[in-house]
């Protein structure tokens, strides 16, 4: 195992990675902006270094790796988010002779090509939505694809990682607006379209790939969204549980994820994302390498520490025996608590937390991952995520009630968050029944 690592992230994920490192005996070096000297993720690390006052300092790969060299670390953990998805950062870490705890540059480049990932899934015999077979580089390409597929379609950049919020196009005017928003197309590797599924449900399958290949150990649902941003995650996925052939469907979707994971062959953690239509048919959407925000739900139902598995795999230690013992049980729900964002920019409003009260989190039942405490600044240039709250119970109903109660007891003064929206959704009869989709929030 590593002796000392740099955590190249901030907030709740840096705190969460530091906690695992401390438990397994790894020293941590944390990073922070000058105004974050007393932040939770700084306190969680054994040593910390200031990046100055500019939030854009997080984009300075050379400066981050100079700190890593100066502090004598052996590995770098980027958490999740921008740096974890940046091939240039992964390559720079390797060139410094350090180990990146996460997907390498080749993997990131491979899966960022979304058209190639779709083709890999199709070659593995996994169903994909009808869509572009080569990048769209101009309006005529787009029109040719739409003529073949038919409206409505979803338009997305051809290169990128993570849940890219596509534009739903119902006619040629929508399509023209979408292409204009991506101009110049070359910066995105072009664009692509695929058939849009009305009221789709989104399921992702968690897997880890080691020298023996993919190992699948859970699924989760991330259908509750607002403007493409995930708000709620459930494990296991109720979209599968509620199907008449749910057991068989779960087996089929796990097998499909394993086939895609083997074809893509990205060592480490990964999740294979699918959409389900109203007939229960599932289609491959993308493969996301590395740690995901929603990993806490899988950890709670499977009784594993995914960050520890990441660290051990990156250090070259065998983990297959531990994977074979995993037996998921119960139900876990995670809510993303976000700071309010400007509707014109989608970025959080600049603010500062003057008072923070977090409710008790009984071990094994509630996990609150947060980087926010009294004095924490919210930056317009950074992600609006304030905390994730995950609850576990033997059944979904009890886990949902507990999540609602915990959200009601969180007070962050004077910060405006999405807690009221989350609680309204959790108390809606459709969500209580597990009957919701990616248009649910808009409807309520």
Q: Give the per-residue pLDDT at 140.
A: 93
Residue 124 lies in a domain: no
Query: Considering the entire predicted model, what is its pTM?
Result: 0.94
Q: Do the Cβ atoms of 220 and 298 come closer than 8 Å?
A: yes
- In this structure, are 391 and 309 located in the same domain? yes
- In this structure, are 400 and 416 located in the same domain? yes
CA distances from 413 to 100, 274, 351, 355, 360 (A): 37, 38, 10, 5, 18
Which structural domain range is residue 386 located in? 201-443
The 10s digit of each residue's pLDDT in 73-86 is: 999 999 999 899 99
CATH code, 174: 3.30.1490.20
How far is it, in rounded angstroms, from Cα 252 to Cα 258?
10
CA distances from 252 to 125, 274, 283, 442 (A): 12, 12, 12, 31
Q: Give the per-residue pLDDT at 104.
A: 95
> Residues near 104 by Cβ (< 8 Å), separated by ≥ 6?
90, 94, 267
Residue 372 lies in a domain: yes
Q: Give the per-residue pLDDT at 427.
A: 98
Digitized pLDDT (tens) for each residue of the chain, 444 residues in all: 899 999 999 999 999 999 999 999 999 999 999 988 888 999 999 999 999 999 889 999 999 999 999 999 999 999 999 899 999 999 999 999 999 999 999 999 999 999 999 999 999 999 999 999 999 999 999 999 999 999 999 999 999 887 777 899 999 999 999 999 999 988 889 999 999 999 999 999 999 999 999 999 899 999 999 988 999 999 999 999 999 999 999 999 999 999 999 999 999 999 999 999 999 999 999 999 999 999 999 999 999 999 999 999 999 999 998 888 898 999 999 999 999 998 888 889 999 999 999 999 899 999 999 988 888 889 888 889 999 999 999 999 999 999 999 999 999 999 999 999 999 999 999 999 999 999 999 998
> Residues near 189 by Cβ (< 8 Å), separated by ≥ 6?
113, 135, 157, 158, 159
How far is it, in rounded angstroms, from Cα 137 to Cα 261?
29
> Domain boundary residue among 179, 195, 211?
195
| Burial of residue 363, with CB atoms counted within 10 A of its CB: 0-12 exposed, 13-18 middle, 19 or more buried | exposed
Q: Could you say which DSSP state residue 128 is in? A: B
How far is it, in rounded angstroms, from Cα 204 to Cα 273?
4
> Residues near 73 by Cβ (< 8 Å), separated by ≥ 6?
4, 5, 6, 29, 98
- In this structure, are 206 and 188 located in the same domain? no
- In this structure, are 383 and 309 located in the same domain? yes
Q: Give the per-residue pLDDT at 38.
A: 86
For residue 118, the SS3 value is helix
- In this structure, are 309 and 334 located in the same domain? yes
Question: Dihedral, CA atoms, 11, 16, 17, 21, nearest 10 degrees?
Answer: 130
> Domain boundary residue among 84, 101, 118?
101
CATH code, 341: 3.30.470.20
The 10s digit of each residue's pLDDT in 131-185 is: 999 999 999 999 999 999 999 999 999 998 877 778 999 999 999 999 999 999 8
CA distances from 149 to 47, 154, 194, 198, 365 (A): 55, 11, 8, 15, 46
- In this structure, are 318 and 381 located in the same domain? yes
Q: Give the per-residue pLDDT at 23.
A: 97
Cα of first residue to Cα of last residue in the chain, in angstroms, is 49
Nearest CA-CA partner of 435 in 202, 228, 239, 283: 239
For residue 371, the SS3 value is coil
- In this structure, are 244 and 137 located in the same domain? no
Residue 419 φ then ψ, to 5°? -60, -40
- In this structure, are 169 and 304 located in the same domain? no
Q: Give the per-residue pLDDT at 325.
A: 87
For residue 429, the SS3 value is helix
For residue 292, the SS3 value is coil
Q: Could you say which DSSP state residue 341 is in? A: B
């Amino acid at each position: 195992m590593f002796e000392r690592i740099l955590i190249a992230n901030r907030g709740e994920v840096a705190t969460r990675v530091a906690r695992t490192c401390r438990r397994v005996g790894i020293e941590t070096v944390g990073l922070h902006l000058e105004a974050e000297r007393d932040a939770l993720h700084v306190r969680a690390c054994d040593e910390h270094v200031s990046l100055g006052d500019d939030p854009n300092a997080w984009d300075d790969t050379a400066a981050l790796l100079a700190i890593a060299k100066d502090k004598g670390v052996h590995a770098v953990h980027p958490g999740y988010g921008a740096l974890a998805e940046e091939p240039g950062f992964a390559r720079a870490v390797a060139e410094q002779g350090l180990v990146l705890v996460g997907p390498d540059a080749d993997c990131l480049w491979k899966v960022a090509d979304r058209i190639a990932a779709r083709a890999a899934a199709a070659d593995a015999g996994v169903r994909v939505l009808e869509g572009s077979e080569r990048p769209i580089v101009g309006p005529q390409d787009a029109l040719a694809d739409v003529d073949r597929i038919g409206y409505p379609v979803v338009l997305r950049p051809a290169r990128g990682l993570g849940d890219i919020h596509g534009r739903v196009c119902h006619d040629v005017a929508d399509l023209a607006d979408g292409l204009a928003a991506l101009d110049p197309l070359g910066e995105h590797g072009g664009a692509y379209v695929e058939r849009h599924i009305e009221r789709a449900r989104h399921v992702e399958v968690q897997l880890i790939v080691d020298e023996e290949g993919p190992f699948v150990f859970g699924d989760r649902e991330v259908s509750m969204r607002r403007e493409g941003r995930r708000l709620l995650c459930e494990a296991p996925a109720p979209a599968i549980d509620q199907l008449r052939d749910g057991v068989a469907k779960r087996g089929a979707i796990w097998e499909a994820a394993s086939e895609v994971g083997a074809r893509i062959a990205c060592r480490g953690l990964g999740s294979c994302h699918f959409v389900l239509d109203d007939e229960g048919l599932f289609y491959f959407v993308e493969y996301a390498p590395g740690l995901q925000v929603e990993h806490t739900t899988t950890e709670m139902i499977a009784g594993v520490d995914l960050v520890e598995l990441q660290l051990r795999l990156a250090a070259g230690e065998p983990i297959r025996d531990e994977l074979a013992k995993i037996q998921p049980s119960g139900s876990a729900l995670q809510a993303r608590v976000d700071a309010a964002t400007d509707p014109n920019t989608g970025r959080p409003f600049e603010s500062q937390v003057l008072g923070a009260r977090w409710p008790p989190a009984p071990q094994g039942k509630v996990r609150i991952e947060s980087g926010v405490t009294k004095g924490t600044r919210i930056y317009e240039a950074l992600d609006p995520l304030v905390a994730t709250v995950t609850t576990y119970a033997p059944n979904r109903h009890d886990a949902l009630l507990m999540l609602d109660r915990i959200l009601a007891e969180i007070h962050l003064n004077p910060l405006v968050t999405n807690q009221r929206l989350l609680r309204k959704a959790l108390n809606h009869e459709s969500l209580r029944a597990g009957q919701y989709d990616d248009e649910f929030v808009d409807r309520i």
